[in-house]
Amino acid sequence: MNLDGIKKILIIRLSSLGDVLLTTPMLRSLRKQFPQSIIDFCVRDSFKDVLITNPHISNLIEYSKEPARIDEIKEHIAKSDYDLVIDLQNNLRSKVLVSNYKGKVYKFGKYSLEKFLLVNFKINLMRTLDPIPVRYGNTLPGLVMDDEGLEFIIPEGIKSQLPDTKNLIGFSPASRHYTKMWPYEYFIELGEILNLHGYKVVLFGGKDDKAVCDIIAAGIQGSINLCNENNLFQTAANFTSIRTIIANDSGLMHLACALKVPTLAIFGSTVRDFGFGPYKNKARVIENPFITCRPCSHFGRDRCPKMHFNCMMTVTPAMVYQYMLKFLGES
């Protein structure tokens, strides 16, 4: 495709935290290739903080499920003179938004058949696919992707709430789906091991993670619970003070990668082949590759369909601690 003369671009990715963060390499690459162009981004209002400080966006269009707002955005897209629209959501909601737009729409390829085969028959045709940030970039033929990783900008004036010490280990113990969550009992046991060896645990999460963070904090003596009311900027500032984070396959794992925080990611029911692993950061995925029922889902489930949850239960706290020591060069 000839990209000469492109003056106005709209990107649509409505949700969620991790998925929106994974668009940032594409955004930066677009800005490098089209330094004078208008680049607008449509995102769900609850995830606007991911992008509100991003320097590569000209205008942020905040989406909500209110019918009046949907109609307003539809009309804006139809009447604006966008040279092209890049639909990275590619679902019914995004299709509704561009339904009256007469220009060219480039849609993100979801590889639905490949995901179905991998989840249901363990036929893996996804192993050689690029990570999601690169696949986002490939949605627009001719876009040259850079090699700089995810991006998140903390506003000036927001500082870490943590002490200046080298022994802080972050825990991000929650996820939207049960089968992507390492058991909270394991987080507690790992925290006790860390306490014995001079480390201090810091817990991170948002509003929906409060219950699990409170349980874990109560079980780890001296831990610091910084779970908050979805204050993404404060969470990011606090991330800058920790030595490493131990996280599930979740949005906060991707935030840590965007901030170049060394990341240990525990994967259970999902696998890296879907493309959502840590991207261009010092990171290690901890998983049990010998569990033959993995993956049971490409996004997570509310229970283990086999009722044994071996994908997570066999990843023990002692194992994670040893991985951490090697990862930090302390073993």
Mean pLDDT by 10 residues, the chain (331 residues): 84 97 98 97 98 98 97 97 97 97 96 97 97 98 96 97 96 96 98 98 97 98 97 98 97 98 98 97 98 95 96 98 96 66
Provide the CA 62 distance to its chain's centre, in angstroms: 19
* pLDDT for the residue 2: 66
* pLDDT for the residue 331: 66
Fold match between domain 8-138 and domain 168-328: yes
**What distance in Å separates the CA atoms of residue 182 and residue 299, rounded to the nearest whole number?**
15
CA-wise closest residue to 184 among 173, 192, 176, 194:
173
| Longest Cα–Cα distance in the chain | 63
Token pair belonging to 86: 């890049």
* pLDDT for the residue 122: 97
Class of domain 168-328: alpha beta
Peptide bond into 262 cis (omega under 30): no
Handedness of CA 229, 302, 62, 233 (dihedral sign): positive
Q: Which residues have C-beta within 8 Å of that of residue 223, sequence separation ≥ 6?
A: 191, 200, 201, 202, 203, 216, 217
Element (H, E) at 328: helix 317-328
Contact between 211 and 173 under an 8 Å Cβ cutoff? The reply is no
Q: Indicate the burial class of 216 (C-beta count within 10 angstroms; 0-12, 13-18, 19 or more).
A: buried
**What distance in Å separates the CA atoms of residue 40 and residue 293, rounded to the nearest whole number?**
41
* pLDDT for the residue 206: 97
| Phi, psi for residue 16 in degrees, rounded to 5 | -110, -155
CATH number for the region 8-138 comes to 3.40.50.2000
Domain extents for the chain? Answer: 8-138, 168-328
Q: pTM of the prediction?
A: 0.97
* pLDDT for the residue 171: 98
